[in-house]
């Protein structure tokens, strides 16, 4: 573990946290035969970052990190890059591939295991730490969640938003995100200096918009309800096949330039 000095106080090297995460991914991927695209992108910011308050001004239902862990000092956001096999399998057809749905379920479980592992490690050296649930923590009526991993990732510097409302990381937007809150002071990461979305950089792309089978992204304020209805239908249709509730699609995250980079 490397200690860095930030503003007169020692900070834990974020690569130390990344190594913890990779340790879990390596074992999990071997057990389940998934070729995650390592290393996982990871970013960190402090709970004092003023952008948390700005986020809550825009989305008042969103919790501040201190609402969840009052003693926390750092917010770590990490991305698990989904396998090329799952991504490529999900390009064709209007319905998501079985492999994509299975990897969605398994990766959500992996994110929980990562949170538990990092929490145990940091608690063992004196820092209270918790991992936030990866998904299914939202109001089914208005589709509002008390915690957005995407927005936390943006604040921490993990990536920038695409037109598909997904966070584009250095490994693309075909990822699953997780958040860890800790009392430890983790090395802060810098935000990207450019937009990762091609359209936001002046390139005529819009491929993610056109990839949506139900055209939900053309007007997300209304489209998000159609999207959720479709995801629930998919989850119910394939629950026995994938042995879980996979309310996922991924069409707007695959077959596009920013899927993997």
Transcribe the chain into DSSP letters.
--EEEETTEEEE-HHHHHHHHHHHHHHHHHHHT----SSPPEEEEETT-THHHHHHHH-TTSPPHHHH-TT--EEEEEEEEPPHHHHHHTSSSSSPPHHHHHHHHHHHHHHHHHHHHHHHHHHHTT--EEEEP-S--B-TTT--BS--HHHHHHHHTSEEE-TTSPEEETTBS-EEEEEEEESS-BPP-PPPSS-SSSGGGT----HHHHH-TT-GGGGHHHHHHHHHHHHHHHHHHHHHHHTS------GGGSSSTTS--
pLDDT at 2 over 50: no
Nearest alpha carbon to residue 166 among 217, 236, 241? 217
pLDDT, one tens digit per residue, over 27-63 is 999 999 999 999 999 999 999 999 999 999 999 999 9
Residue 23: the pLDDT is: 97
CATH classification (class only), 12-195? alpha beta
Indicate the average pLDDT of the chain: 93
| 154 vs 3: CA distance, rounded Å | 25
Residue 135: the pLDDT is: 81
pLDDT band for 221, please (50, 70, 90 cuts). confident
pLDDT band for 127, please (50, 70, 90 cuts). very high
Give pTM, 2 decimals.
0.93
149 contacts 158 by C-beta, under 8 angstroms: no
Residue 145: the pLDDT is: 85
The token duo for 159 is 């990536």
| 80 vs 82: CA distance, rounded Å | 6
CA atoms within 13 A on the CB side of 48: 5
Measured CA to CA in angstroms, residue 190 lies from 11, 53, 114, 254 at distances of: 15, 19, 23, 27
pLDDT, one tens digit per residue, over 79-115 is 999 999 999 999 999 999 999 999 999 999 999 999 9
Residue 5: the pLDDT is: 37
Compute the average pLDDT of residues 127-136.
91
pLDDT at 4 over 70: no
CA atoms within 13 A on the CB side of 178: 29
């Amino acid at each position: 573990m490397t200690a860095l000095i930030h503003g007169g106080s020692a900070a834990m090297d974020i690569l130390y946290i990344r190594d913890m995460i990779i340790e879990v991914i390596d074992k999990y991927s071997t057990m389940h035969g998934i070729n995650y695209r390592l290393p996982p992108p990871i970013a960190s910011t402090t709970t004092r970052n003023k952008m948390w308050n700005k986020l809550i001004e825009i989305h008042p239902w969103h919790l501040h990190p201190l609402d969840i862990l009052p003693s926390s000092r750092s917010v770590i956001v990490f991305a698990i890059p989904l396998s090329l096999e799952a991504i490529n399998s999900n390009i064709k057809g209007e319905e998501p591939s079985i492999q994509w749905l299975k990897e969605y379920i398994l990766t959500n479980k992996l994110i929980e295991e990562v949170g538990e592992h990092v929490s145990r490690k940091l608690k063992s050296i004196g820092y209270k730490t918790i991992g936030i649930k990866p998904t299914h923590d939202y109001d089914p009526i208005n589709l509002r969640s008390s915690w957005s991993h995407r927005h936390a990732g943006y604040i921490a510097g993990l990536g920038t938003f695409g037109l598909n409302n997904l966070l584009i990381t250095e490994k693309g937007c075909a990822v699953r995100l997780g958040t860890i809150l800790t009392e430890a002071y983790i090395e802060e990461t810098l935000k990207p200096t450019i937009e990762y979305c091609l359209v936001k950089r002046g390139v005529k792309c819009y491929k993610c918009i056109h990839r949506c089978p139900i055209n939900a992204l053309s007007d997300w304020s209304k489209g998000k309800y159609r999207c959720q209805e479709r995801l629930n239908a998919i989850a119910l249709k394939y629950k026995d096949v994938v042995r879980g509730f996979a309310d996922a699609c991924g069409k707007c995250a695959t077959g596009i330039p920013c899927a993997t980079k």
